[in-house]
Amino acid sequence: MKPTWRTVLLWALPAVVVGFFLWQTTLMPMTFGGAAASAQTANANTASTRMTYGRFLEYLDANRVKSVDLYENGRTAIVQATDPELEGRVQRLRVDLPGTAPELMSRLRAANIELDSHPTQNNGAIWSILGNLVFPGLLLGGLFLLFRRSNNMPGGPGQAMNFGKSKARFMMEAKTGVMFDDVAGIEEAKEELQEVVTFLKQPEKFTAVGAKIPKGVLLVGPPGTGKTLLAKAIAGEAGTPFFSISGSEFVEMFVGVGASRVRDLFKKAKENAPCIIFIDEIDAVGRQRGAGIGGGNDEREQTLNQLLTEMDGFEGNSGIIIIAATNRADVLDSALLRPGRFDRQVMVDVPDIKGRLEVLNVHARNKKLGEDISLDVIARRTPGFSGADLANLLNEAAILTARRRKDAITMEEIDAAVDRVVAGMEGTPLVDSKSKRLIAYHEIGHAIVGTLLKNHDPVQKVTLVPRGQAQGLTWFIPSEDQSLVSRLQLKARIAGALGGRAAEEVVFGDAEVTTGAGGDLQMVAGLARQMVTRYGMSDLGPVSLESQQGEVFLGRDWTTRSEYSEEIAARIDAQVRAIVGQCHQEALQIVRENRVVVDRLVDLLIERETIDGDELRRIVAEYAAVPEKEQLARI
């Protein structure tokens, strides 16, 4: 990029200033200050012959001195005198006078000698004054250019006086490019927010019956479910001015800046009403006051107090609607959630199978799909995926399709994309070795136990292809979206997770078990403990003994309070061990009774590296010690 004259000047300014300073302090006294002195000295040196002061006094007593010219403030004199040795001819002589000789002036006047004084010209002082003015002038000019340049740069030094101004992105036409048709999978939330759009377009429908629209709407849900997209869709549908800001942009290192920005934001909103204010990630500024070590952050609490005050400072029908989004509603201050501020909370949860199909239809509009692609099948295979996950899934499949130089996305790319999104990037396949066979037995152990347990989720596939940190994977896909899980299902999941360790023990013995079950054992311990302490699924009875505790900096207590005695704690540990032990024995029994099919599946898995769930269930139905009809019914 070609540098502008301002850029060149900004880079050259420090060098000019430093050079001028050195020149002023060293060279200038020898040039400007010395110029005037040199002129005077030249006049004083017109006489080539010097005379001592004593000789001069002798000439003065002998009346030989005709005139005296004083130079250099009386330190040097040019004397015109007659010399008898030169037949009385007048000559010019230079005399160095002493510093103090007041009697000399009296003697010169008494002798009526022509006397003239030549004062020193003070041109050096003028140049010194000019030099002292030039340096500050250059400095001030450079600072002025810096400030002018930084005024056009966000966050530059020129913004120092604008700390208290709101950083909200403002769209007068609300051209967000997002409409309700672009938001899918969260129909309940869209219906709730449709009222907001209607109020902004036709407020008289509500005011005619005395209704007041909620001042604030809080969108709550996991990350990636479309909260920000919903806010943009509301602004796009209503066509009103749209203020968008993140909660973290209110908080600065300077005290009072956040509160000032809140005031400025609401002032602008009132000037442009009706409008929408969208605060994303409001938990950054709206967390509980007084929480954390030392009582919390004072600047953040001042900002929250100002926000609470401003939300109380306008009427419900003023045309200003505040929409906020967070995935941590449990840490928000209670004053922020009371009626009159955020009156309504809209839950934006992960979509169900119907919602996932709608989301896939939206994101597949600009994708070239193959004939074998079934969005319904993809929706069934992706339970728990949010809208952002599904968008990322189709994008990864499209990238993989381009990498493979195909014309359209096929189910092969979809399967690889699902694996990548859930488990990570594919690694290098394992070479045939004892380690590969051990991993194969471990994964088949999971698959055989999960397949033969009636209440377990069906197996989708088993693979030895490493992904992420896992050397092998067994995929279980629930047949339907489960909001409630039974005790039998929880125990089946524990047994299935222990199937890998059970296969290692049966095939290789207790001495050869590996660390491969570390993650499985953590999941088993957590699930079994929740069954005892939270779900009341043990001999201790239907009692919840533990509650979810947040961390200190998320607005919770510093220490977790024990809610039961040591005796109950010992009984909890015993119940957890009993549940895990029972499920472990069940897994061991299934692996022992079906050792033949386990060996058959391991050989097939080592050969192919991946076995599909349908093929696995057919093989198990042929060998397993259960009725064939029951196995085929699960296919």
Cβ-contact 189, 344 below 8 angstroms: no
Higher pLDDT, 312 or 30: 312
* Residue after which a domain boundary falls, among 400, 423, 446: 423
pLDDT category, 566, cuts 50, 70, 90?
Answer: confident
Q: Which residues are catalytic?
A: 443
Question: What's the CA gap between 24 and 381, in Å, rounded?
Answer: 80
Question: How does DSSP assign 299-367, residue by residue?
Answer: HHHHHHHHHHHHHTSS-TTSSEEEEEEES-GGGB-HHHHSTTTEEEEEE-PPP-HHHHHHHHHHHTTTS
Q: State the pLDDT at residue 631.
A: 44
Closest CA to 489 of 380, 628, 625, 497: 497
The reply to whether 177 falls in a domain is: yes
Give the pLDDT mean for 193-200: 80
Which residue segment(s) compose the domain that 560 sits in? 434-632
Same domain, 357 and 320: no
H helices present in 594-627, as ranges: 595-608, 613-623
Do 307 and 382 fall into the same domain? Answer: no
Encode pLDDT of 12-26 as tens digits: 555 555 565 555 555
The C-alpha atoms of residue 511 and residue 518 are separated, in whole angstroms, by 16
307, 247, 334: which is closest to 282 by C-alpha? 247
- For residue 599, the model assigns a pLDDT of 92
Q: State whether 30 and 101 are in the same domain.
A: yes
Residues 317 and 174 in one domain: yes
What confidence tens digit (pLDDT) does each residue in 124-157 have? Answer: 566 666 666 666 777 777 777 666 655 544 444 4
In this prediction, residue 38 carries a pLDDT of 46
pLDDT beyond 70 at 334: yes
Q: Are 175 and 315 in the same domain?
A: yes
Residue 559's pLDDT band, with cuts at 50, 70 and 90, is very low
Same domain, 395 and 539: no
Q: Does residue 581 share a domain with residue 496?
A: yes
Q: Is 587 inside any structural domain?
A: yes
Name the burial class of residue 582, with classes exposed (0-12), middle (13-18) and buried (19+) by CB atoms within 10 angstroms of its CB: middle
Q: Whose CA is closest to 72, among 27, 41, 94?
A: 41
Specify the 3-state DSSP secondary structure of 625.
coil
Question: Average pLDDT of 409-429?
Answer: 83
- CATH assignment at residue 102: 3.30.720.210
CA dihedral sign of residues 265, 270, 275, 281: positive
Go through 112-134 and write b for each residue having 16 or more CB atoms within 10 A of its CB, e for each that does not. Answer: ebeeeebeeeeebeebbeebeee
Residue 495 contacts residue 449 (beta carbons within 8 Å): yes
Lowest mean pLDDT among 254-263, 288-297, 305-314, 410-419: 288-297
In this structure, how many other beta carbons lie within 10 angstroms of the beta carbon of residue 150?
A: 15
Q: Is residue 45 pLDDT above 60, yes or no? A: no
Give how many domains the chain has, as a whole number: 4
CATH of the domain at 486: 1.20.58.760
Same domain, residue pair 257 and 277: yes
CATH number of the domain residue 184 falls in: 3.40.50.300
**Statement to judge: residues 207 and 278 lie in one domain:** yes
On whether both 101 and 182 belong to a single domain, the answer is no
Q: Are residues 411 and 441 in the same domain?
A: no
CA-based nearest residue to 633, from 378, 443, 452, 379: 452
- Bridge partners for 79 per DSSP: 68, 93
